[in-house]
Amino acid sequence: MLRTPNITRPKALEDLLDPQLIARFTQLDVASRKIFAGKLKGERRSKKRGESVEFADHRAYVSGDDIRHIDWNLVARLDQLFLKLFLEDEDL
């Protein structure tokens, strides 16, 4: 079995990076657009309407609407065209 020559691995971050660069890293302040304490991605609902799998509401069909969102079960019961509205996916 072939072995590589003895390579010493760094024991600390200072062995890899310049101390001045490490000092600059400590000065960085990184913040997100909005902070939602205790909330993970997907635990918060958006107020906007959009296209996802999460149903939000119905509304009457208007000429020009996407026919893929027509709720055909509701059309069969009420004999009127209605669209399914969905919650918009939102990444934090």
Task: Identify whether 3 is part of a domain.
Answer: no
Overall number of domains in the chain: 1
Task: Identify whether 82 is part of a domain.
Answer: yes
Closest C-alpha to 87, from 40, 65, 55, 42: 55
Task: Identify whether 78 is part of a domain.
Answer: yes
Residue by residue, pLDDT tens for the chain (92 residues) are 566 677 777 677 677 778 888 788 777 766 655 555 555 555 555 554 555 677 888 999 999 998 988 999 999 999 999 999 887 766 55
What is the model's pLDDT at position 32?
52
Task: Return the C-alpha torsion angle 31, 33, 34, 39, nearest 10.
Answer: -70
Domain hosting 34: range is 13-87
Task: Identify whether 92 is part of a domain.
Answer: no
Q: What's the DSSP call for residue 78?
A: H
Q: Which two tokens stand for residue 20?
A: 């001045």
What is the model's pLDDT at position 64?
92
Task: Identify whether 69 is part of a domain.
Answer: yes
Task: Identify whether 1 is part of a domain.
Answer: no
What is the model's pLDDT at position 61?
94
Task: Identify whether 75 is part of a domain.
Answer: yes
Task: Identify whether 8 is part of a domain.
Answer: no
